[in-house]
Amino acid sequence: MDSEIWVLGDYRPGTTNQAIALAKELKLSFELKNIEYNIFGKLPNLLLQIYPIHIKQNILQSLGCSNPPKIIISSGRRTAPLALYLKRKFDNKPKVIQIMKPNIAHAEFDLIILPKHDVVVEESPNIVRIIGALSSVDLEKGREELNKNYPSAKKFIGVIIGGDSKNYKFDEYSCIAFVSILSTLITNHSLPFFISFSRRTPDFMKQIIQDNFSSPHIIYDPKNGGSNPYLGILASGGYIISTADSISMCSEAAYSGKPLYIFYQDDFALKKHKSFIEELIKLGIAKRLDRSVSHLEEYTYKPLNETKRIAEIIKDRLF
């Protein structure tokens, strides 16, 4: 049986996972199409929209020979021209949903899912704004896995730490400030920390944290293997503390419904991330974690579930 949705995914998990999350929420059969690029992959979309020469030929031929799906979901700049090419090839039968800025004219897309922190020259009727990133978070499964693999983790403060990215590097000054705040918090709470590093967390930051938080605190490092407790931390933590370097990570934390504190310094240079976090604070979903915070407050909010909201919009507009 042919899949009703094609998800165009590439090597970037941050974009591909958003498309997969939306496909799952639509509750239609879907297939992930793994897209690979050739030497033309860095060309601007202004050229690639004419013909997707940046896609490896065997993949392009394979997609073109298949039966068309009802929906094509593309995410990020590079898959956008391919999605429109396939729509034209299949006589405009598939609906094309683009997540994030396509960097080409908007008119051909049936729907563009665009974060509020992304600026466009002109809004158009087919643009739907979201807060943060689309995500699919199975908290119940995360809780079950945590209970099975970390039986001692009953009550704790969850700390999820990102790290370096293309446009951001953690420095020692920020790390020391973060650890100082955590040390203050632990003197005012009886709960231990459950700290989870990501694959992007720099080694020097891991070392500083490990030097300052030993047992009964629990620290997970993906380099050491073992079951990843990330979803379990979101599901079972009494409070969640997150670094600000990942919009996806903060969006998933906001889905948990737990009191959420996000750490960043005054000189935090990622403008889109900062704008997103300020929106979460404005909505009462998150609070900023800085040196003024010595105690975590209990508060409630409606969990952020943009994936479900967008799926309902798609059903209303396109079906």
Give the tens place of pLDDT for each residue, 45-87: 989 999 999 999 999 999 988 899 999 999 999 999 999 999 9
Residues 143 and 285 in one domain: yes
Query: Can you give the pTM of this predicted structure?
Result: 0.92
Residues 98 and 211 in one domain: no
Residues 183 and 248 in one domain: yes
53's tokens = 């020469």
* Residues 167-175: contacts with CB under 8 Å, at least 24 apart: 167/269, 167/270, 168/245, 168/269, 168/270, 169/202, 170/201, 170/202, 170/205, 170/243, 170/245, 172/204, 172/208, 173/265, 174/265, 175/204, 175/205, 175/208, 175/209
Of 24, 10, 2, 1, residue with least CA distance to 83: 10
What pLDDT score does 149 carry? 96
Residues 189 and 78 in one domain: no
Residue 210: domain span:
139-289
Give the tens place of pLDDT for each residue, 38-50: 999 999 998 999 9
Residues 119 and 213 in one domain: no
Residues 231 and 127 in one domain: no
d(CA 286, CA 305): 14
Number of domains making up the chain: 2
Residues 93 and 158 in one domain: no
What pLDDT score does 73 carry? 98
Residues 162 and 272 in one domain: yes
Residues 282 and 163 in one domain: yes
What pLDDT score does 1 carry? 66
Q: Which residues of the chain have pLDDT under 70?
A: 1, 121
Residues 285 and 155 in one domain: yes
The CATH number of residue 85's host domain is 3.40.50
Residues 173 and 265 in one domain: yes
Residue 191 lies in a domain: yes
Cβ pair 170, 164 in contact under 8 A: yes
What pLDDT score does 121 carry? 67
Residue 302 lies in a domain: no
What pLDDT score does 5 carry? 97
